[in-house]
Amino acid sequence: MDYDFSNKVVLITGASAGIGESTALLFAKLGAKLSLVGRNEAHLRAVAAECEKQKGVKPLAIVADLGTDEGVQKTAKETLEHFKRLDVLVNNAAVGARTTLLHETDMKIFDDVFTINVRGVYLLTKLLAPALIETKGNIINVSSVSATMVALGTLPYGMAKAALDHFTRLVSLELASKGVRVNAVSPGMTVSSFVKRLTGSTDEEYQAWLAATSKYIPMGEPCVGDDIAKMIVHVASEHSRLVTGTIVEVDGGMRFGNFSNAFSKQAK
């Protein structure tokens, strides 16, 4: 199957690292015009430069905090001013929550998780839906197996991702008659700096955690960013033209593994 995104404008949030970075590089290889968003300007510009090397198309790099309404508004405004259209919105940016149990939850962490992972996605989608209706484009929300797995240590992150899944279903229904598809890609454990940021682990500690937790994944290994990027591209492409309101898990079967204990040990 061929994937061609030349002349398509693709906005990817959280493109300065991890899954968003892999997704940006893959869309760049397929000829997309990219709008890339993150807070870390040096990382974002480095990813944009790598993307430009693929097909010579210069991405728009937007430094913005999607945990603020101003950052979200800036992202929508600059993208539309620059490209005058939008074909694909990838809501990927998110933060984790280093909590273990309900009574230990710092409500500041709860608020940050919901503000960035849910409110930011909600507002950005609201602002960009009219542009997507014009192009009959589509939306991919990056969720997590934590949305459905009942594993200790995933409050309130799992709740926020469950909200994102239901947002995906509801908005898919609302926009279907306008020709806009809305789906989620739901990764299992994926090698990135996500867990390291959360726990402040060294590389060695992170590698040891990956090896230990991989035992709970039925297929025996974690995903890498490209595994998730390939599914995002597939769902965003014409090959998925009647796919909407779905949550596609890319997790090596992790959602069926007994992960409860492994996750609770993540917060060291």
Catalytic positions, written as ranges:
157
Q: Cα torsion for 75, 78, 81, 85, to the nearest 10°?
A: -40
Give least dist CB 185 to ligand NAP, A.
9
Judged by CB under 6 A, the number of residues near ligand NAP is 30
Residue 144 sits in the site that holds ligand NAP (CB under 6 A): yes
φ/ψ of 183, rounded to 5, equals -140, 165
Beta strand 181-187 with 60-63: parallel, antiparallel or unpaired?
Answer: unpaired
Of 72, 63, 121, the residue nearest 92 (C-alpha): 121
Q: Where are the beta strands (DSSP E) in the chain?
A: 9-13, 33-38, 60-63, 88-91, 138-142, 181-187, 247-250
CA 120 to chain centre: 12
CB 179, min distance to ligand NAP, A: 26
Nearer to ligand NAP, 2 or 70 (CB): 70
Minimum distance from residue 18 beta carbon to ligand NAP (Å): 2
In the window 8-67, what residues touch ligand NAP (CB under 6 A)?
13-20, 37-40, 43, 65-67
Among 197, 199, 214, 243, binds ligand NAP (CB under 6 A): 197
Residues engaged in binding ligand NAP (CB under 6 A)? 13-20, 37-40, 43, 65-67, 92-95, 116, 142, 144, 187, 189-190, 192-194, 197
